[in-house]
A and B are shown apart, each in its own frame.
Chain A
């Protein structure tokens, strides 16, 4: 059985990528800070030293390894218990993000009705999600929604299932969102921009499983 030495000898010799003796007069601290500054401004003395290059590569590998290692450990963590997740959801439930107030006309001049921006975004999500291959992401309402009749531009991110025609999916999303907004709001919509942010695979795989 091989037991690793918990504390290696201070002089690890020529194999030590961070051995100060190989750094052509530079220090580890200097290289470490240079690495963190993304090697700018360029230090020609460091860049032309083979020993410094080896050390900088070692720091780069350590960074990559760190990310992979954390992901591996995270994957080994048990899934959070439903109760634990629920207690977070309970704590956030009281803080709805309503956004701006969008006026709704009323025959009574003294009546002031408004629909929140959050509800309009909810309508957009529900409309887009009603198409099976689409999941709606962020929705942005540009323009002065607080003044009735002002032109509004809407930008919607969507995720589309793999295998669907992206242009047709975007067009379907635009149409259904437009219809629902005309039906439920008085917004003066000048444009609806759809951005396909994500093409996802899982749903197709599940459909294949269902068929088999």
Chain B
């Protein structure tokens, strides 16, 4: 199963511990993840279920390409990182 880790910055809003989740795409992984942590969904995805503008997801060190449908492939050994882009003040 893929390993999923979150940015530290989300932790003060929603506790999101590192976990393992099955799924063959980013969408499938996130859907399962948010079944366990429902409050995290709106912190990562916008109202259209696309990745929020200033969030980023890496799979094995590569930024995902499909931020709208989240169709990038995930394997059993993938390391997934859900980060925020650095911006703001």
Does chain A bind chain B? no
Interface residues of B (CB under 8 A from A): none
Interface residues of A, Cβ cutoff 8 Å to B: none
